[in-house]
Amino acid sequence: MRIVLDTNVVASGLLWDGPPAALIDAARAGKIELFTSRALLAELTRILRRAKFARPITVSGASLEELVLGYSEIATEIVPASISAAVPADPDDAMVLASALAARADMIVSGDSDLLNLKSYQGMPIIAATEALARVTKAGAGG
């Protein structure tokens, strides 16, 4: 299963327990394939620099750089596709869609309401981490 995680999901998965962390763990275990881009990794670095993440990063025992590098080691980096201007006005959202298109992803996982409201892009469902984890679990069980 080929998946692109939006940076909000990656940040959550790297710093807290829950469905986003379980998706990252599934990738580490080789159960799913995660895809990212240089732009998404740069965005991840940018958002993890926010003050609200300082304490969770400290608690994690890893530096910001180690967290981003660790994620980049389990996700395959691709070059985002060129997409039309008919995507959301937010360039960060367009970056997620362009990366998913290039990766030929089976799904896009996001916590961003603008992306989730799209429901799908080019046939790829855009879903929350909880639903994605349920689909991954079901696929792993042979269903």
Residues 18-34: tens digit of each pLDDT: 999 999 999 999 999 99
Whether the CB-CB separation of 23 and 1 falls below 8 Å is answered with: no
Q: What H or E segment, with its residue span, contains residue 2? A: strand 2-5
Mean pLDDT of the chain: 93
* Residues sharing a CB contact under 8 Å with residue 50, sequence separation 6 or more, in sequence order: none
Strands 33-37 and 75-78, bridge-based pairing: parallel
Strand partners, 139: none
Whole-number pLDDT of residue 15: 97
Has residue 74 got a pLDDT over 80? yes
Integer Cα distance of 21 and 7 in angstroms = 13
For residue 92, what pLDDT band results from cuts at 50, 70 and 90? confident
Whether the CB-CB separation of 100 and 92 falls below 8 Å is answered with: no
Strand partners, 2: 33
The residue-averaged pLDDT of 72-76 equals 97
pTM of the predicted protein model: 0.94
Q: What phi and psi values does residue 50 have, to the nearest 5 degrees? A: -65, 145
Integer Cα distance of 71 and 73 in angstroms = 5
Whether the CB-CB separation of 129 and 137 falls below 8 Å is answered with: no
* Domain annotation for the chain: domains and CATH numbers: 2-140 (3.40.50.1010)
